[in-house]
Amino acid sequence: MTDAQTRTLGVLLYPDFELLDVFGPVEMFGNMQGRVALTMVAETSGRVRSAQGPAAVAECGFDDCPHLDLILVPGGVGTRAQVDDERCVAWLRDRAREAEVVMTVCTGTGILAQTGLIDGRRATTNKMLFRWLEETWPKVRWVREARWVEDGKFVTSSGVSAGMDMALAVIQRLAGTQTSEMLALGTEYDWHRDASWDPFAKAHGLV
C-alpha cells in the first residue's frame, strides 16, 4: 500500500453486534487516514443498536454501499439471527468475492461461514462458542487453538479483543510492520503478534 492508495473498509453492522468487535479494529484502521476510508454498512442506513446498548450509525445500506476493498464482520449475540438472514448473507457473499481482504471477529465468522466461501478453508472464532460454529458449519477447517487465522484473503479471529491483533496483522500485510508497530504504540496496545497464542482455547477445553 502506498500513500497514494486509499482502500475502503466496510464494517457490517446488525442488531446486537459486539461493540469491541467493531471499534477495536476500527481504532487501528481509523488511524490510517488517507490510506483507509471507513464506512459503516447495515441492511438500511441509520442507527444500529449494539449488544451492549449504545448504537452505531450506518452511513449506507446494502443497496447504496460503495465498492469495498476490505470488509470487517463483527460477532455478537445478534449473529444467530444474522446467519438466517438471507439478504445479509447474500450481500456478504457478493461483496466478499470482490474484496481484497475479508476479516471476521468472534462469531462473525459464522456469518461468513454461512456464505459457503470458507468451506474447506482454515478459520477460527470465539472459543466460548466454538463448538456451535464447528458443529453448524462442518465444511470449514476450524482451528481450535489460534488468536487469528489467515487463509488467503480471509482472516478470522477469536473472541472480541482478538480483533485488534488481527487488524494489526492485516495492516502489517497491507502497509508494513512499521505502520502496525506505530499504531500499537500510539494506542498503547500490547499487540500479540503470534497468531497461535491462545490461552482461551485451553480455558474452554478445546485443547
**What pLDDT does 4 receive?**
54
Which among 80, 100, 81 has a CA at the least distance from the CA of 10? 100
Task: Compute the Cα dihedral for 78, 39, 9, 19 and give only its sign.
Answer: negative
Taking residues 163-183, what's their average pLDDT? 97
Length of the chain: 207
Does the pTM exceed 0.95? Answer: yes
**What pLDDT does 1 receive?**
45
Residue type, 86: E
Provide the Cα torsion 73, 75, 80, 83; round to 10°: 10
Question: Are 58 and 15 contacting, i.e. CB atoms less than 8 angstroms apart?
Answer: no
Domain 7-198 has CATH 3.40.50.880: yes
Which among 73, 96, 201 has a CA at the least distance from the CA of 153? 96
The 10s digit of each residue's pLDDT in 79-117 is 999 999 999 999 999 999 999 999 999 999 999 999 999
**What pLDDT does 76 receive?**
97
